[in-house]
């Protein structure tokens, strides 16, 4: 049943979307609010937003995971951090959007920009990153740490030279999952990154992502065919991201089992 | 005086006393075997010698351990230096999931050795000491996990030797290996004792009889008897030791 629904969605989108796709569609900017032209600027916007969000969230997430696993024992502090992360994961994305709008766009005066958008996205993907990194780090056999200490390493050397490299495949999986989530995110991005169609020039310019573009095209009835074209690219991108994740997981499993 | 002098050492995991007033002296460049039934404190004792037990929560230690005349439980002891000097070989071969090269040179890197020539030379010398150089010199970037169990255990010993320890602690180093591999590791130990002091914990009494110069028998956290291996195995003075080595118990 699940598979059937999945295939139906993919098939439906691709059937409607593929005829629109062309090299030109990918490489020209939208014209007349998206009625004509391609989606080049939205692709760039999506990439910029996602990359920045991951760059902000990954060090935080991996850092928290290291702290939770290596530097503390289970106590109320770790429980509070975990509970917090779980709550963060459960908040609807529109709330994140509103929060980002109030804090980054208006209060901190970043305006509708890639910066505000990616900060907001960073908060949204943080729980996933913490969770997956933590699990990856915990999966590193304890004895590796013991060996490292027994050779006279400090804790930090053990973490950076043994634990993190061994946990890397798991951490990368988490990062890729977050990338997938960021690409598909719509509600919070409209509020924080805006929906400018121009090609973004810096992290302070407003930008429209593919999913926002799709939403606006479909909702305002500007051009259904272009909307489906965008959706097709989105689906293909997310599919690609998931396949890469799967491949990495597979290698990870082979290495340790 | 031995290279390791332990006097009146007691060790606690929380309220459980794992070692009771152990006193013994371990001689330089000899193999000392510690035997006894499971859970009798052999491994705990071994790990007090490079303070690996510090990592266990609620562990606490009384008494004195002198290594090269230095009290290692005194305040301000450089743990990293201690662990470099007193290396530990674990029960199961446990190379890092990295290349052979990275495994052997790991210790050098954490101790800040950067000179390429030094690294190359130590790499070669450590692998030669464990008789792996010829087999592996052309495949140093292979993942260490692809080696056989015996090779992995040798590699782990090489990894220790690379940081120039003085004492090698071995915690049942052959328990995960087959007979043939065990024999080869034992040969290696005889070879290594020319340079290093070896303390080995073993379940296998024959192994203790074969390789060691001195033997200590642990029972319920107590060092029941300690002496030259031939004496322990032929003329034990303590009734309990005799029971154990003749197989009446344990």
Mutation target among B55, B88, B97 for the A interface, most CBs of A within 10 A: B97
Is B159 in Cβ contact with A166 (below 8 Å)? no
A141/B contact by beta carbon, under 8 A: yes
Domain of A232, CATH number, reads: 1.10.3720.10
- pLDDT average, residue stretch A30-43: 82
Is A166 in Cβ contact with B96 (below 8 Å)? yes
- Residue B134 included in any domain: no
pLDDT value for B57: 79
Is A151 in Cβ contact with B159 (below 8 Å)? yes
- Residue A114 included in any domain: yes
Q: Count the residues in chain A.
A: 257
pLDDT value for A73: 82
Mutation target among B43, B107, B163, B176 for the A interface, most CBs of A within 10 A: B107
Mean pLDDT by 10 residues, chain B (250 residues): 88 89 91 89 90 84 89 87 90 88 90 88 89 88 88 91 91 86 89 91 89 92 91 89 79
pLDDT value for B53: 85
The candidate with the shortest Cα–Cα distance to B153, out of B167, B137, B139, B132, is B132
What SS3 string covers chain A?
A: CHHHHHHHHHHHHHHHHHHHCCHHHHHCCEEHHHCEECCHHHHHHHHHHHHHHHHHHHHHHHHHHHHHHHHCCCCHHHHHHHHHHHHHHHCCHHHHHHHHHHHHHHHCCCCCCHHHHHHHHHHHHHHHHHHHHHHHHHCCCHHHHHHHHHCCCCHHHHHHHHHHHHHHHHHHHHHHHHHHHHHHCCHHHHHHHCCCCCCCCCCCCCCCCHHHHHHHHHHCCCCHHHHHHHHHHHHHHHHHHHHHHHHHHHHHHHHHC
Q: CA separation (Å) from B33 to A107, A151, B30, B46, B157? A: 71, 22, 10, 11, 17
pLDDT value for B211: 92
Question: B17 pairs with which residues across the strands?
Answer: B12
Q: Residue B235's domain spans which residues? A: 4-92+166-245
Give contacts of B106 with chain A, Cβ < 8 Å: 148, 151, 161-162
B80/A contact by beta carbon, under 8 A: yes
- Residue A1 included in any domain: no
A206/B contact by beta carbon, under 8 A: no
Give contacts of B59 with chain A, Cβ < 8 Å: none
pLDDT above 70 for A102: yes
- Residue A3 included in any domain: no
Query: Confidence band (pLDDT; 50, 70, 90) for A253?
Result: low
pLDDT value for A256: 52
When divided into structural domains, chain A yields a total of 1
- Residue B77 included in any domain: yes
Is A165 in Cβ contact with B98 (below 8 Å)? yes
Q: CA separation (Å) from B185 to A55, A144, B149, B206? A: 49, 22, 11, 14
- Residue B116 included in any domain: no
Buried b or exposed e, range A208-241, using 16+ CB within 10 angstroms:
bbbbbbbbbbbeeebbeebbbbbbbbbbbbbeeb
* Percentage with pLDDT > 90 across chain A: 31
A219/B contact by beta carbon, under 8 A: no
Quick: pLDDT tens for A212-237.
988 888 888 888 888 898 999 998 98
pLDDT value for A257: 42
Is A161 in Cβ contact with B106 (below 8 Å)? yes
- Contact between B184 and B197 (Cβ < 8 Å): no
Domain of B51, CATH number, reads: 3.40.50.300
- Closest-CA residue of A relative to B50 is A150
Give contacts of A143 with chain B, Cβ < 8 Å: 90, 92, 94
pLDDT value for B212: 93
pLDDT value for B130: 86
ipTM of the complex: 0.83
pLDDT value for B250: 55
- Residue B176 included in any domain: yes
Q: Residue A195's domain spans which residues? A: 17-256
Angle at B80 between CA B76 and CA B83, to 5 degrees: 110
Quick: pLDDT tens for A117-133.
999 999 999 999 999 99
pLDDT value for A244: 86
- pLDDT average, residue stretch A180-188: 88
pTM for this entry? 0.80
When divided into structural domains, chain B yields a total of 1
- Residue B105 included in any domain: no
Top pLDDT among A31 and B121 is at: B121
Mutation target among B106, B111, B153, B160 for the A interface, most CBs of A within 10 A: B106
A154/B contact by beta carbon, under 8 A: yes
| Range of weakest confidence among A52-56, A184-188, B25-29 | A184-188
pLDDT above 90 for A159: yes
């Amino acid at each position: 049943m699940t598979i059937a629904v999945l295939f139906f969605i993919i098939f439906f989108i691709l059937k409607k979307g593929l005829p629109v796709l062309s090299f030109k569609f990918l490489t020209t900017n939208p014209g007349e609010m998206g009625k004509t032209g391609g989606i080049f600027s939205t692709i760039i916007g999506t990439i910029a937003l996602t990359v920045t969000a991951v760059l902000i969230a990954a060090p935080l997430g991996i850092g928290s995971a290291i702290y939770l696993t290596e530097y503390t024992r289970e106590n109320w502090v770790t429980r509070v951090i975990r509970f917090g992360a779980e709550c963060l994961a459960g908040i609807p994305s529109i709330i994140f959007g509103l929060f980002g709008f109030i804090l980054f766009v208006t209060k901190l005066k970043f305006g509708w920009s890639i910066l505000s958008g990616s900060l907001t996205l960073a908060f949204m993907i943080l729980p996933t990153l913490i969770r997956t990194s933590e699990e990856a780090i915990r999966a590193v056999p304890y004895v590796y740490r013991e060996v490292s200490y027994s050779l006279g390493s400090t804790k930090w050397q053990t973490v950076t030279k043994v634990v993190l490299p061994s946990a890397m495949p798991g951490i990368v999986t988490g990062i890729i999952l977050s990338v997938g989530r960021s690409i598909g995110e719509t509600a919070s991005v409209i509020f924080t990154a805006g929906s400018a169609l121009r090609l973004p020039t810096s992290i302070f310019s407003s930008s429209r992502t593919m999913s926002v573009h799709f939403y606006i095209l479909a909702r305002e009835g500007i051009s259904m065919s272009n909307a489906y074209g965008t959706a097709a690219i989105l689906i293909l991108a997310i599919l690609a991201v998931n396949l890469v994740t799967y491949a990495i997981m597979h290698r990870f499993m082979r290495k340790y089992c | 005086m031995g290279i390791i002098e332990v006097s009146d050492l007691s060790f606690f995991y929380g309220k459980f006393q794992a070692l009771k007033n152990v006193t013994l002296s371990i001689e330089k460049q000899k193999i000392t075997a510690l035997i006894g039934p499971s859970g009798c404190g052999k491994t705990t004792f071994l790990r007090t010698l490079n303070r690996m037990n510090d990592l266990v929560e609620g562990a606490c230690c009384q008494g004195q351990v002198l290594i090269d005349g230095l009290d290692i439980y005194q305040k301000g002891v450089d743990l990293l230096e201690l662990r470099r000097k007193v290396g530990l070989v674990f029960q199961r071969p446990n190379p890092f999931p990295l290349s052979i090269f990275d495994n052997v040179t790991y210790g050098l890197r954490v101790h800040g050795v950067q000179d390429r020539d030094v690294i190359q030379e130590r790499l070669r010398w450590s692998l030669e000491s464990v008789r792996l150089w010829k087999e592996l010199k052309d495949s140093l970037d292979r993942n260490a996990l692809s080696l056989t169990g015996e090779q992995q255990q040798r590699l782990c010993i090489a990894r220790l030797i690379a940081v120039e320890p003085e004492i090698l602690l071995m915690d049942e180093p052959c328990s995960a290996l087959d007979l043939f591999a065990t024999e080869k590791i034992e040969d290696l130990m005889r070879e290594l004792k020319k340079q290093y002091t070896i303390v080995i914990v073993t379940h296998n009494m024959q192994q203790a009889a074969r390789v060691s110069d001195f033997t200590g028998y642990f029972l319920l956290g107590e060092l029941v008897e300690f002496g030259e291996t031939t004496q322990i195995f032929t003329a034990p003075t303590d009734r309990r030791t005799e029971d154990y080595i003749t197989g009446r118990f344990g």
